[in-house]
Amino acid sequence: MAEGLSVDSTPPSYQGHRYPVEMIAHCVWLYFRFPLSFREVEELMLQRGVLVSHETVRRWCGTFGQQYANALRRRLRPGDTWHLDEVFIKINGELKYLWRAVDQDGNVLDILVQDRRDTAAARRFFRRLMKTTCSVPRVVITDKLRSYGAAHREVMPRVEHRTSKYLNNRAENSHQPTRRRERAMKRFASPGHAQRFLSAFSGIPPHFRPRRHPMTAPGYRAEMTIRFAIWDQATGAAGQPAAA
């Protein structure tokens, strides 16, 4: 469940943008939450009587997507068990590796697109994770890739390291939304494009996907109301007037 309404961050600055905050935040939400193109977001807004070009939507997503994702991540307290995994992604015909870390609750801690999956790459990802989360886990769970073991001994030797393909299903399952979006987008233009999009994508949609299994329908609606309120705080839309 969502942890209250407090987002410990300053809302993004919209200085120089003539559109209302709510409109910018809504377009960014549409693009990252659903498998839509920039032109499809433009069409949805046109149906509502809002004239905004797909290029403007693209700029908004590039400017604010990561800021929104960071604000949502900051309100999450990382668990003490980290699941790490890496998968192939193809960018311009070349194979790259998408490294991902989630905690025991399924929250995505960070992602990193790299050229290799050797010890240096694993070490770089471990250090990035510790910097991003400002924490050290109690347990790290990975598959049996030897690079993890070597990097673990160097970067966090006091942390317990478990290796099992069965224990790491949580990290492997977290790749599925990325795979679906990758197919919808046809391809990533470059490693930088993949890193920018996936970094924001791994932070925004999960916020709007609470675990529904133990929830009743009224409980789910109440939870989503809280999450939309948190989104409004993270984007700075809370308390804004109807027109800018």
67 and 140 fall within a common domain: no
C-alpha to C-alpha distance for 145 and 152, rounded to whole angstroms: 12
Note down the domain range covering 71.
Answer: 21-75+210-235
pLDDT of 5 over the 60 cut: no
71 and 97 fall within a common domain: no
Enter the tokens of residue 126: 């471990």
55 and 90 fall within a common domain: no
70 and 30 fall within a common domain: yes
What lies within 8 Å, CB to CB, of 147 at 6+ separation is: 117, 118, 119, 121, 122
Structurally, the chain folds into a number of domains equal to 2
**Structure pTM?**
0.84
C-alpha to C-alpha distance for 221 and 226, rounded to whole angstroms: 9
> What's at 154, amino acid-wise?
E
Give the residue with greater pLDDT, 10 vs 233: 233
pLDDT digits (tens, 9 = 90+) for 179-219: 888 888 878 889 999 999 999 999 999 999 887 777 899 99
pLDDT band at 7, cuts 50/70/90? very low
pLDDT confidence of residue 188 = 86
Enter the tokens of residue 148: 């993890």
pLDDT confidence of residue 168 = 60
71 and 96 fall within a common domain: no
pLDDT digits (tens, 9 = 90+) for 169-182: 666 666 777 788 88
